[in-house]
Amino acid sequence: MTQFSVSIPLYTIAVILFIWYLVVVGLAYNGFVEIFRKFNNSLRSKIDCKIIDSELEGVSILRPIKGVDPEMEICLQSSFQQDYALDKFEIIFCVQDSKDPAINLVERLIAKYPHVDAKLMIDDQANKANYGPNPKVNNLAKGYKAAKFDILWVQDSNVWSRPDVLRRSVYSLTHSLDNGRTTKRPVKLIHHAPMATCLTQNGELSSLGAQLDEMFLATSHSKFYVSLNKVAVAPCVNGKSNLYKRSELDDAVKKMGDLAEVASIDGQSGDRLQDAKYYSLTPGEGLRFFARYIGEDNMIGIALWDFGHGRTGMTGDCVMQPSSGYNSIFDYCVRRMRWLRVRKYMVLAATLLEPTTECILCGTFGTFAISVLFFNQFFSRAWFVFHVMIWFLTDFIQFHYLFSCVRMNNGSSDTSSTTTGNGSQPFFLNESFNMGFRFKGHRFRSLKKFVPIWILREILAFPVWLVAILGSRIDWRGQPFKIKADLSAERL
């Protein structure tokens, strides 16, 4: 038998990779355990039993609209169906284009729920809001200023939420709770874990792109998203569904602007501090400052963190986006590359390290380190297979657990593609699982359908990251942008 020997430099590399392997696995299972401990009806019940409805603050729900997304009526309808006092919430639908095809849908919903305070705001077509390249912020600005309540729930038009989410979120925001725990640093923003569900066509799961979105959000993304929120060393915010106070965001922008001697002329000078000062001069205009960024969600989180001296919190809830069949592998890759390029400028170090948090690369580095340090060899295939199998099993369990977390156990499943009853469960939460199997009353996706998508997503992770990291151009809503070094975006 040949003697195994390794040089000092290679041994040092193995030690470094072993430490990083422990960090990644630790973060992954920190998120996995947090999901199992906090994303369930037990935690929800503990929070809900403390809520006194008469003490809940008012909320303005802002939903930016652009075009018609899959099952959008059900998604928007979930705002009307929130279990909240009618005199304590309003819904503002924000549209920029007077010819937007979603307007008829919104007007139909408003007419369907006359007892709910809801309205549609459309930009003046001769003078559309343009505070920067971010179309979502430009669209939301009017609703942000017109909202009659201080607490804002900004929720994308293509996500659905359970009827009990708003009560729990407002209570957590006003009582500084993160997944039911009281935090040392005050919670200034509540966010919900984003998920997607793949719609079916003719009894089969739709396109690969939709299935990849579903897989990514319910496995890799969610475990690290939840973990980073718990660790709370910096904000990590996805803008699908966020609650915060307008007064606190305006105050954060004001404190940013206080660092400048003078305000800019129009808020679009390119000088971050002077522009912040400009938007802090008039109440209710703080959101407009963030139109310079494509990733406004995380930048809002950073502002509330750095200048509001707060942190983010979660409630054990997810929001669900139905994904259609018109969604290819290429579409999935483009979306991932777009947000990776945005994140590259926000958190460069984390983005550079991101591929090492994926199963294959993490397992490769970890296997090399463990093999050198403990097995007297360069690469133990047995350990790599063990690593992949454990990672897969973790993802399989977490995937189904999160879907069960979103479902309402006492809600009837509506088979209609356009309507749900008050508080009923939309059909798309169960539809794609009807082709799987049941075990002890729980629904599971069949391994024949789950395994190939899981493998494909893992294989795509590194090449998608590599292409994203080498470029700076992104396409958003049909418009090309370039992300600049100061994190702002420039239309091309």
Ranges of each domain in the chain: 11-33+347-474, 59-335
State residue 322's pLDDT score: 93
CATH code at 59-335: 3.90.550.10
Q: At what angle do helices 447-470 and 381-406 cross, to 10 degrees?
A: 100
**Rounded-to-integer distance, Cα 342 and Cα 237, Å:** 13
State residue 478's pLDDT score: 67
State residue 68's pLDDT score: 92
- Active-site residue 297, yes or no? yes
With a cut of 50, which residues of the chain have pLDDT below it? 1, 410-421
Q: For residue 66, which phi and psi values (nearest 5 degrees)?
A: -150, 105
State residue 411's pLDDT score: 40
Mind listing the pLDDT tens digit for each residue in 271-280?
999 999 999 9
**Rounded-to-integer distance, Cα 205 and Cα 323, Å:** 10
State residue 419's pLDDT score: 35
CB–CB of 428/322 below 8 Å?
yes
CA 5-9-13 angle, to 5 degrees, is 100
What the block records as the tokens of 290 is 């963030």
Which of these is catalytic: 297, 317, 395, 414? Answer: 297
> What's the predicted TM-score (pTM) here?
0.92
Closest CA to 476 of 352, 379, 344, 337: 337
Amino acid at 190: I
State residue 416's pLDDT score: 39
